[in-house]
């Protein structure tokens, strides 16, 4: 990962994003949020399609033939992301209360959220087995303590570590994946980067990269995975900014 090149792109985006109209920004943000909610829930097995997710979130029309739980997962995920955005807007750093709040929002009408598990969990097909409840509780407390000491990490590395370490501990009975992806985006946005969405089609590469960390303590594959997605998102905005600048120049000459 060439972090400096990513930083230059981030700085360009931050400096010139104001040339994009509110309409374009709103359009891009809305498209991202629908895609992100769809992907993050689909990775966990939710069967609501991208178009159905759009209808649910934009038109607030329920989709037929889906389990109530799946509908709640979609609606709750979007609410949890709005909560993340409001925390970022207020400049609040990530801590235990916010993570528990996120999880509680994700689990609304499904189960009681924001409470750590007191049972063992197993991840089917994974080489890594999450720690027993007592050990998980200790590890999650260390995780929050470590959050403030990761100053040697750059923004992408910190986001990758936050996600990979949290999901390795698996502190909740359910919703660890969705929570991990939210706190990863929390860290990215706090550093001025754009939030990213991991496509459900990439889930095997995604799980492999996470497993490298959980089993071999190798974070690099996941850092590279996130950096590539961040670059794609920045490029999308940079192309729109450059197009807008070109249009302005042309209209100035006409």
- Known catalytic residues? 170
The CA dihedral of 95, 100, 106, 109, to the nearest 10 degrees, is: -160
CB 198 within 8 A of CB 204: no
Largest CA distance in the chain: 70
CB 131 within 8 A of CB 180: no
- State the Cα–Cα distance between residues 176 and 126, nearest whole angstrom: 15
Structure tokens at 37: 């909610």
- State the Cα–Cα distance between residues 96 and 160, nearest whole angstrom: 18
Give the closest residue to 118 by CA, choosing from 189, 49, 171, 42: 171
Give the closest residue to 140 by CA, choosing from 177, 171, 176: 171
Could you give the count of Cα atoms lying within 13 Å of 110 in the half-sphere of its Cβ? Answer: 22
């Amino acid at each position: 990962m060439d972090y400096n090149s990513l930083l230059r792109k981030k700085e360009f985006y931050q400096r010139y994003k104001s040339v994009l109209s509110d309409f374009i920004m709103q359009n891009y943000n809305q498209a991202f949020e629908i895609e992100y909610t769809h992907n993050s829930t689909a990775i966990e097995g939710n069967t609501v399609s991208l178009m159905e997710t759009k209808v649910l979130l934009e038109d607030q029309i329920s989709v037929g033939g889906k389990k109530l739980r799946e509908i709640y997962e979609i609606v709750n995920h979007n609410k949890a992301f709005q909560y993340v955005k409001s925390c970022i807007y207020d400049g609040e750093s990530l801590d235990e209360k916010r993570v528990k709040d996120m999880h509680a929002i994700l689990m609304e009408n499904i189960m009681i959220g924001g409470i750590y598990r007191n049972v063992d969990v197993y991840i089917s097909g994974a080489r890594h087995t999450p720690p027993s409840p007592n050990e998980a509780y200790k590890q999650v407390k260390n995780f929050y303590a470590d959050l403030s000491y990761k100053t040697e990490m750059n923004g992408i590395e910190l986001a990758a570590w936050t996600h990979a370490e949290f999901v390795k501990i698996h502190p909740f009975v359910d919703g660890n994946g969705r929570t991990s992806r939210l706190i990863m985006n929390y860290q990215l946005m706090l550093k001025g980067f754009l939030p990213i969405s991991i496509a459900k089609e990439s889930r095997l590469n995604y799980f492999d990269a996470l497993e490298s960390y959980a089993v071999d303590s190798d974070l690099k594959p996941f850092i590279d995975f996130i950096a590539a997605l961040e670059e794609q998102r920045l490029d999308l905005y940079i192309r729109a900014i450059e197009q807008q600048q070109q249009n302005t120049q042309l209209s100035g000459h006409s």
